[in-house]
Structure 1
């Protein structure tokens, strides 16, 4: 008995010791926000004050020291995110997640991102400030890798820390550029429609811009001075990193604000994941200050502001990817036809290392247009070689200098010169300053094809007639400086004419743009609070007109009582997507049924590819307004030709029947909050036991597709609208009260699940609330959390 008691005591003691050890191990994994740390290569000490939301305010004597400290603190909060994104662009995710990511790795490693990075780095000016500060930032990351703890995710997947290089920084730029591109999701689909259904079907999908569409106007005035389709969609489904989607931004001139100073608003739309995409930081030296938002592994922010100026981005959505059918030499499959005779494909050997499995070796063929997708995407069944011509890998990459220049501008002239260095991805750069300048620049290297070339289908690569005719000078890009309207804006919509024509792209419909213009035109005394309300607006400017076109096409006698009540709710709807609204639930199910009944019979399996493209979003209003269309007829019904009335009537009935089965017979119970939710997913959350630990949410949330508070989702058969993307931050910068500018992140500043800042902004974000972006030194240095870096030199 004594032996048993002793064993029990020892067992209890062992459990206690294990618990204590586990406690201290977990504490060790948390980010260090207080105390002193050594950091080699500093010229002086660096002080980092953390505010209430975990934003580091870095005070240093020079920028090299500041960037080195930024690299360290960025890594301790976001090293897992850095690791995943560098592996994504390089095709190395299978090393972490195994065989299920081989297709994704094969795709990204075949795009030429790594080869383009290596070429760019070989030609960099190693004496430039941008280069030196970037290397200091990378050194800070690597010092954390050497001296700091591994994130818990590294233990879960069995990963050792690996130092970072400049290649990793450029690979992130490459992923960002490809994430913005849309042609790879659309061009193959349009080519299939053209070849299988004919030109008449394609013609109705190639929407032309009409006078009723909201165009971003070009206007340059004086500056003020006061001192492949389904397969690609499948690949995107498995990405553990957020893709870039869209965005809103507007800058209101001094004459339209109550306090007589510029106000800038920006909310880039990016796929939701955990951690969120942006990392906030504030750097202050005797000669420099900026509050910025950095992507993982990027030393200079894409969004930023200080007391003198502020800037933000939206996605331009220009077409910078063209696909070409190459023609192989019948006698030699390693050669392809050109106007100058047959040329030999470049062959690149690739290897993907796979966790718990053998490596995958393969080759990529590259023509003068670019890599062949046939060897990269397994789902390509077309025997014709398809090459991808991507502007990002074709031209000299100056993105590092562009980001440095925009974050170090002393004037609007400087900012414009920096924006002109961007060749890809296409970005709308939005600008406002304390001197009352406002501006918008569509930044990208634009080019012209022959007038007869349709860049939205796969082109003939052997003919020589589908090549780029010339590149445009930046002065010809869409832009506006201090326009007479006293505001500039962008919502990923079509810009006005360039060089006498509308530039091709994959622009989003006018919905958000139209609403932004409606609200901006309505008053001339905007305050910061007005703009904070506006950036959370959930009313569609277009859906009421779509509903009106729907209701003129039906007869009341064709519907039962519940269907009539649903129609009445739609008829009275102002386009508002509030949590307790019923109309959005009815409308979105109707839209799904409408798309199925209109397009699926002709498209077949390609319908699943079409339904969530920008092409589909642009089609809705146009198609609904048509009385006659080749798409109305259901080709699966023999001896009968359906009309618009048939399709609309059937779609309403289908929608109501589905909702009765899903949510019950009482329409009053069909509220938007029951079907529209958001969950910020972490890769570790794919494991059921870890979901609640790593994921943030799910939450009921208002907003919807193509309203200003653009919380978008994929349309599918489920009847649930799980938010896939939305504002990656909401920022409002008021130059009349710059120290009280506001922002919010979807979840939190830290990507370390053990940090108190992992999800401390989530509830505020869901409610449309904001937190301060602090610049006041007295306030900042009053925070108790202070990390001091001392040099070991």
Structure 2
């Protein structure tokens, strides 16, 4: 008995010691928001005041010190995110996650982002002020790597921390540029439809510029063969599994003083990005004698993409212009290492790469490059067929000055200085929204645009000897779409069709007019906007287009075919105002109906794989409304049947019946239980959260959430057979800057400021976000210091 007691006491001691060890380990992994920390190369002391949401307010006596401090505190909360983002473009994911990511690494290496980054960095002017501050920022990151606690993800994946260099910064920017591009999803798919089904099947897909839709209007003051269809299917799937944020859309509007209650500009912005944990933006407020900015930073990038101070504010949406082209190459039948050019057959450039793979030997691979760009065949499994396809991407073909541009935007003090930085953004295409304390409002479509003749269809893979020439006819920035202080007294962007460029409608992958139409509908009649009404608008969940679609489709419904439930539901749908609140039954029925409507219209011609890829395109979203008015479309006939020639009415009725049947199966006959909250949810997933036992620790959610596809509060999701909609992307922040009360401007993040799961700020905004609430973006120094939750003093290292 005594022996058992002794063993029991011994085991208890071991358990206590183990518990203490775990507690100490966890404590050491937490971010340190208080105390003192010596930083190398720091000239003067920097004070970092953390507010109640863990946002650092950095006060320094010079910019180099402030940006060095920014690097340190940014890494403290987001080092794992920085690590993941820098690895994508440089082909480093397999080293962390194993052989399943080899195809993704091959694809990104072949894009040439990492090679372009090396060239850019090699040609940098080391005395350039932006470069100096970028290196100071990296110094801060690297000191945290050397001396700070190692994030738990590094332990779980078994990788070592390594210093950050300037190439990493440009690689992250390159990944952003890729994630904006839609051509990879669209052009090969459309080429296959054209070759498999014929040009008549392209006519109703609404892939061109639309002269009937809601445009963003220009205003310049007088003084101013068989291939696989989606080249990135496997890549996007892999990045989705890793929960890496993909940039997808966005809203923004800037209201001039003539339309606001207090006579001052109001800027609203909510960039739409794939949901992940941690969320994409890191907020930081920096004050020095010569620099003041409250900014939103991408992991590993020193200068904010969204920012404001007391003088001006800016935000972004995605331009969605077409800056990627695909070319068929003709290989020499006697030598597959050569291809045809206007000067005869020439040798491909052969590029050799090495990929490090976790728990496996390194993989060596080569790919070919033509004058147009990398040959994508053989790089990833999803690219099939014998015809070589080359990709031409303007991002890797021009001098990269994007970091210079971000430096210029963040350091501008007025509209003139702000405009000077914009031409430096050659890619990715961005809509830059601007407002200032002097009452100016402006929208600029920024990208290096070039002349595209009407005879060239940029949405198809170019045949040999066709397409755009290598030396493009570049437009000057002044010809880009833009509006400065227009007569409407507001500017906006919702990724929709921009106005003409040099007399042409520029090709792009623009989203439907739904959000734009609603934005204009709300902005136009109202002339007393304030912060509260702007915050209501940015969380608006009503579609102006969906009720119109229902009205068009409902005309074709044969009520004699409907059950009692079907009759009740169709009557309710006809009365629906397009609201996507949690209690809406109509939202659930509409989306279930639209899925079957698309499936019954397109799947017979496309097949399972092509149809799935079709559902992930922007043009699919654009065609729903016009197709609901087009009874003569070639797509209505079901080619899998021989005895019946189907028409639109048949498809509409069949789809509605299938939607009702599936909803009854999922929720029962009582349609009151078919509420939006039961099918539409959000979960912010962390890569480590894929492990079931760790999901609840790393992931945030799930929560039922209101909003839906292409409403202002754009909680997007993919259609599939399940009829349950897991929100994949949406507002990465909601932000209202009011120049009548700049110190009380408001914002919110989807989860929290920190990417460290042991931080109290890992998910402290998540429920506020779901409920459409906001918090203050503090700028008043006295208020910040008085209410600081903690203070971290960064002091020069004493040698």
TM-score, normalisation: structure 1: 0.98
Which residue of structure 2 aligns with residue 379 of structure 1?
A: 382
Tell me if 1:442 matches 2:445: yes
Residue 617 in structure 1 maps to residue 632 in structure 2: no
**Which residue number in structure 2 is paired with residue 526 of structure 1?**
529
8 Å Cα contact 1:363/1:375 also seen in 2: no
2:229 and 2:33 map into 1 onto residues whose CA distance is: 45
Match of 1:290 in 2: 293
699, 702, 708: which is aligned to 2:706?
A: 702
1:607 paired residue number: 611
Asked if 1:792 is matched to 2:797, the reply is yes
Change (3 A) 1:630 1:467: farther
SS in 1 for 2:346: strand
Counterpart of 1:29? 29
Report the more deviating stretch, 182-191 or 450-459. Answer: 450-459
CA shift for structure 1 position 376:
1.6
CA distance in 1, matches of 2:229, 2:417: 39
Change (3 A) 1:443 1:679: same
Which of 567, 573, 593 is the equivalent residue of 1:590? 593
Shift of 1:463: 4.4
Q: In the TM superposition, what are the counterparts of 1:642-721 in structure 2 within 5 Å?
A: 642-721=646-725
C-alpha deviations, 1:261-302, integer Å up to 9, x for none?
A: 000000000000000000000000011100000001000000
Other-structure match for 2:543: 540
Q: Does 1:573 align with 2:554?
A: no
Deviation per residue, 1:565-611 (Å, 9 max, x gap): 12112111100000000001100010000001111111113111101
Would the aligned equivalents of 2:184 and 2:230 in 1 still touch at CA under 8 Å? no
Partners of 2:17 and 2:673 in 1: CA distance: 54
Instruction: Note the C-alpha offset of 1:555.
Output: 2.4
> How big is the shift at 1:679?
0.3
Query: How far apart are 1:210 and its partner, in Å?
Result: 4.7
> Are 2:580 and 2:587, in contact at CA under 8 Å, matched by a contact in 1?
yes
Deviations 1:53-112, CA, capped at 9 Å, x for gaps:
000000000000001000000001000101111111211111111122112111111110
Q: Does 1:457 align with 2:460?
A: yes
Moved more, 53-62 or 95-104: 95-104
Structure 2 distance, partners of 1:467, 1:206, is 28
Q: Is the counterpart of residue 564 in structure 1 residue 567 in structure 2?
A: yes
CA distance in 1, matches of 2:422, 2:750: 28
- Give the aligned partner of residue 148 of structure 2: 148
Aligned residue runs from structure 1 range 114-125, under 5 A: 114-125=114-125
Unaligned runs of 5+ in 2: none
Q: Which SS does the other structure have where 2:635 is aligned?
A: coil
Structure 2 distance, partners of 1:555, 1:771, is 50
For 2:630, the equivalent position in structure 1 comes to 626
Task: Give, in angstroms, the shift of residue 451 of structure 1.
Answer: 2.5
**Residues 213, 513 of structure 2: 8 Å contact kept:** yes
Q: Find out whether 1:92 has 2:96 as its counterpart.
A: no
2:71 counterpart of 1:67: no
Q: How do residues 242-391 of structure 1 correspond to structure 2 at under 5 angstroms?
A: 242-391=245-394
Partner residue in 2 for 1:515: 518
In 2, distance between residues paired with 1:346 and 1:662?
56
CA distance in 2, matches of 1:560, 1:467: 61
Give distance in 1, aligned partners of 2:31 and 2:210.
Answer: 54
d(CA) in 1 for partners of 2:739, 2:448: 31
CA distance in 2, matches of 1:9, 1:137: 52
Residues 119-170 of structure 1: per-residue CA shift (max 9 Å, x gap): 1111111111100000000110000000001001111111211111101000
The residue matched to 2:628 in structure 1 has which SS? Answer: helix
Q: CA RMSD for the aligned pairs?
A: 1.3
CA distance in 1, matches of 2:795, 2:399: 39
Q: Is the 8 A contact 2:52 2:789 kept in 1?
A: no
Partner of 1:178 in structure 2? 178
> Any conservation in 1 of the 2:372–2:470 contact (CA below 8 Å)?
no
- Measured in 2, the distance between the counterparts of 1:168 and 1:209 equals 37
Deviations 1:726-748 (A, max 9, x none): 00000000000000000000000
Q: Is 1:778 the counterpart of 2:782 in the alignment?
A: yes
CA contact under 8 A between 2:216 and 2:493: conserved in structure 1? yes
Separation in 2, partners of 1:106, 1:567: 50
C-alpha contact 1:223 1:412 (8 A) present in aligned 2? no
Per-residue deviation at 1:622? 1.0
In the TM superposition, residue 465 of structure 1 has moved relative to its aligned partner by 6.2
Q: Is the 8 A contact 1:266 1:312 kept in 2?
A: yes
Provide the C-alpha distance between the structure 2 equivalents of 1:722 and 1:394, rounded to a whole number of angstroms.
Answer: 37
In structure 2, the partner of 1:7 is 7
Partner Cα separation in structure 1 for residue 560 and residue 268 of structure 2: 48
TM value normalised by structure 2: 0.97
Shift of 1:43: 0.7
Q: Secondary structure of the residue that 1:259 maps to in structure 2?
A: coil
**What's 2:747 paired with?**
743
SS of the residue corresponding to residue 153 of structure 1 reads helix
Query: Contact 1:449–1:467 (CA<8 Å) still a contact in 2?
Result: no
Structure 1 residues 428 and 116: alpha-carbon distance in aligned structure 2, compared to 1, 3 A threshold: same
Contact 1:222 1:482 in 2 (8 A): no
Separation in 2, partners of 1:595, 1:463: 33
Cα displacement (A) at 1:659: 0.7
Deviates more, 1:279-288 or 1:410-419: 410-419
How far apart are residue 317 of structure 1 and its match? 0.2
Distance 2:270 2:789 in 1: 31
Contact 1:223 1:482 in 2 (8 A): no
Contact map agreement 1:222 1:481 (CA 8 A) in 2: no
Give SS of 1:194's match. Answer: helix
| C-alpha distance in structure 2 between counterparts of 1:249 and 1:321, whole Å | 25
What is the CA distance between 1:4 and its match in structure 2? 3.9
> Paired residue for 1:752?
756
Q: Tell me, what secondary structure is at the counterpart of 2:125?
A: coil
Is 1:160 aligned to residue 163 of structure 2?
no
**Structure 1 pair 173–614 and aligned structure 2 pair: CA distance change class (3 A):** same
1:205-261 Cα offsets, whole Å, 9 max, x none, are 24454553100000012689xxx7445123212212100010000000000000000
Does the Cα contact within 8 Å between 1:321 and 1:388 map onto a contact in 2?
yes
Give the count of matched residue pairs: 790
Pair 499,570 (structure 1): closer, same or farther in 2 beyond 3 Å:
same
**Superposed displacement of residue 654, structure 1:** 0.9
Change beyond 3 A, Cα 1:81–1:229: farther
Using a 3 Å threshold, how does the CA distance of structure 1 residues 790 and 504 change in structure 2: closer, same or farther? same
Cα distance in structure 2, aligned partners of 1:450 and 1:340: 24
Give SS of 2:49's match.
strand
Asked if structure 2 preserves the Cα contact closer than 8 Å seen for 1:352 and 1:361, the reply is yes
